[in-house]
Amino acid sequence: MSLEQGDSKSRVLQATDIVALIGQTVSLRRRGKDFVGLCPFHTEKTPSFHVSPARQFFHCYGCKAGGNAIDFVIKRDRVEFIEAMKTLADAAGIDLPRFGGSKEKVSERKLLLDAHSAAGAFFEKLLSHPQAGSPAREYLEKRGFTAESIRRFQLGVAPNAWDGLLTGEVSKKFRPDILALAGLVKKRENGVGHYDTFRNRLMFPIRDEQGRIIAFGGRVMPGSDDPAKYLNSPETSLFSKGRCVYGLDLAKAKAAETRTVVVVEGYTDVVMAHQFGVDNVVSVLGTALTDQHVSLLRRFADRIVLLFDADSAGELAVDRAVELFLTQPVEIAIATLPEGVDPDEMLLEKGADGFAAMIAGAIDALSFKWGRLWRRYEGLGDDLTARQRVVEEYLTGLAAAKGSGSVDSLRWGAALARVSRLTDIPVEALNRRFRGGVSNARGRRVSPGEGAGTVDSARPNRAGDVATATDRAERWILGMLLVEPGRWHDIQAVLGPEDFTDETRRGLAEVYWDHQRHEGEPAFNEFLSVLAKPEWVELAVELVEEIDAVADRGKAMEDAVEHLGAERGRRDDRKLMGMLRKGERTEGVDEVEVLRRLQERARRPDLRRS
C-alpha cells in the first residue's frame, strides 16, 4: 500500500461509521457494547456476526470473516481495495488523491503525529520548569486542577517567545516546513522564516480517539494583551475542528458503558469533570456540533447531552440540536446550568452526584425547544392567539430542521408522536401539515439504540483455554499493544517478535512491530486491513476481546513481560550451555567468558529480563 493510500485510508475509516454501513445490509441488534446479526457472507440461523462500534471492526465467529469498513465493502461488493475505498470516500464527501508513491519513506501522517508528540512533550516539560512554568502552574492550581489531571491530559505551556519551538529541541528533529505543515509554526508575512503558532499560552493537547496528539488548543495566560482567549491549531490533514472532539480518548470507555456522552463548551470544563470522576464528558472545539461530531460520538453512545450555560443556550444552538435530533439516529438532549454558574462551579458545589443528576434530567431537543417557546408567552395566560403563534413558530422551525437533512421515516414518525403530545395536535393533522413525506435515507440505518436486548445465543468464547503461562503472556502482550499502542515504545526495548514462540502470534507481532516502526501507532480498525492472513485477523480480534476482560491490565502486562523475559533468559542459559559443551569444536567461543556469564545469571536473576 502506497503512502497516499495509507493516509487516505485513515481519513476514510475515521469518516465512516461501521455500524451504519453494515446496518444497510445486515439487521443488527445491540448486545452489550457490540451489535450482532446474521452473517451476510455465509448461511446461518443463529447470529455469530459481531460489529464493534467502539473499535470500528466486524468479525464473524462462524466463517471467520472480519476487518474494518473497507474490508466489509470489499467482501460485500466483491471489489478491489481502491474501489471499496472510493465507495466510502464518496459517501463521506472525501476527495481521494491520485495514488502513487513508495513505502520506503516515513509517511507524512507519521511525521505530523511525531511532530505533535514532540511538541506536546516540549510544552509539558516547560510547564514543570521551576521558573518558566511557574505562572502557568499557579493559574492551574488556582483553578483547582490536580497534578494527576495535568498529567492525564498532558497539559503544558508555550513559551512567551516567537521562536520557542523553532529554536528548541523540537527543531532538532523536524524541519520548519514539517512544523508548518503540522500547524505548529507559521510562515512570516514577508516569506522569510517562520514563527511559533502558540506563544505564552496554556496548552491543551487535542488527541484522537487512540490518544495520539493531532492538534493543540491554547488558552491565553492571565495578564496577556492577546485578545484571543482561545486559539486552536489550524486545519491540517490530521485535524479538523468540525470532526474532532476533545477528551474522547479518555471519555469513550465510560460513554460506552453508560451509553451517554456529555458535550460541554471548553477544555477546562472537560478536565474538571474528569477530575471529579464524571468521565463521559467531552467538548467540541469552538464550533457548533456537526454531523461528523455526532457520527463519531454515536459509536460509543445512544444519547448525547449538550450542556449549555444560561448565556450560550441561544436559539441557533437549540435549533441545531433539533436538526441533529431529527437527522441523526441518536437521542439529543439538552441540560442547562443555572445562570452565572460554570460546570466546574457546579461540580464544586454539587459534586459528581449532583452533576450526574442534572445530566440524567436533560430534556430531549424537541421538548426543550417547545419549552423555551412556550415560556415566552406563558405570561399571556389562556390567550388563544398567543398559543397559536407559539405552535406556528414551533412547527415552522421543525419543518426547517426536517429539511436540513435526510430523516428516517420511523424516526420522523416517533418525532411527530412526541410533537403531538407537546402541542395537543393530532398526529394526522401534523402529517397533513408536513405533507410531502420524509426524505428517506439511502438504505435503512439501524440506530445504536434500536433492537437493544438479548440475542438468541451468547457470543462464543473463541480464545479457548490457554495451554501454558507462556501462551497467556504472549497473548496478553499482543492484546494490550493492540488496545493501547502507546505501550509499544517501552515493550520493544525489551522484547521483539522473535520472543513469541507461537508461529501465528510471531507473525502478527512481526507485522505490528513493522507498522510501529514505519507508520507509527496503529488504530485497531486500520491495522486489521494491514494483516495479510485471515488467521492473523482472527487472532487480533480474539486478543482484543480477551484483554478487555482482564481486570488489571497494567499488572497483567507487567507479569507477562517479566515471564517472557525470564523465558528468554532460560533459553539463553540453554544456548550458553550448548556453546560450552561444543566449546572445543565451535570457533570463537570463549569458555571462560561463557562460564562467567552463567555464574552472573545465577547470582542476578533480574538479568534474565535483559
DSSP string, 128-181: TSTTTTHHHHHHHHHHT--HHHHHHTT-EE--SSSSHHHHSHHHHHS-HHHHHH
How far is Cα 552 from Cα 544, in angstroms, rounded to an integer? 15
Residue 203, pLDDT > 90, answer yes
pLDDT score for 127: 96
By DSSP bridging, strand 260-264 and strand 303-308 are parallel
Q: Which one has a higher pLDDT value, 121 or 211?
A: 121
Question: Contact, 540 vs 508, CB < 8 A?
Answer: yes
Residue of 401, 542, 560 lying closest to 468 (CA atoms): 560
* Cell output for 495: 522484547
Three-state SS sequence of 365-420: HHHHHHHHHHHHHHHHCCCHHHHHHHHHHHHHHHHHHHCCCCCCHHHHHHHHHHHH
- Categorize the per-residue pLDDT at 591 as very low, low, confident or very high, splitting at 50, 70 and 90: low
Return the minimum-mean-pLDDT range out of 321-335, 398-412, 522-536: 398-412
Residue 255, pLDDT > 60, answer yes
Residues in the chain: 610
pLDDT score for 573: 61
Residue 407, pLDDT > 50, answer yes
Average pLDDT score over the chain: 82
Residue of 1, 4, 45, 41 lying closest to 22 (CA atoms): 41
Residues 323-346 pLDDT 10s: 898 888 889 999 988 877 888 888
- Categorize the per-residue pLDDT at 505 as very low, low, confident or very high, splitting at 50, 70 and 90: very high
- Classify the C-alpha dihedral 334-337-342-348 as positive or negative: negative
How far is Cα 460 from Cα 541, in angstroms, rounded to an integer? 13
Q: How far from 18 is each of 50, 149, 208, 455, 494, CA to CA, in Å?
A: 11, 33, 18, 20, 36
Write the burial class of residue 483 (CB in 10 Å: 0-12 exposed, 13-18 middle, 19+ buried): middle
- Categorize the per-residue pLDDT at 465 as very low, low, confident or very high, splitting at 50, 70 and 90: very low
Residue 444, pLDDT > 50, answer no
- Categorize the per-residue pLDDT at 598 as very low, low, confident or very high, splitting at 50, 70 and 90: low
* Cell output for 334: 439538552
Question: Contact, 247 vs 210, CB < 8 A?
Answer: no
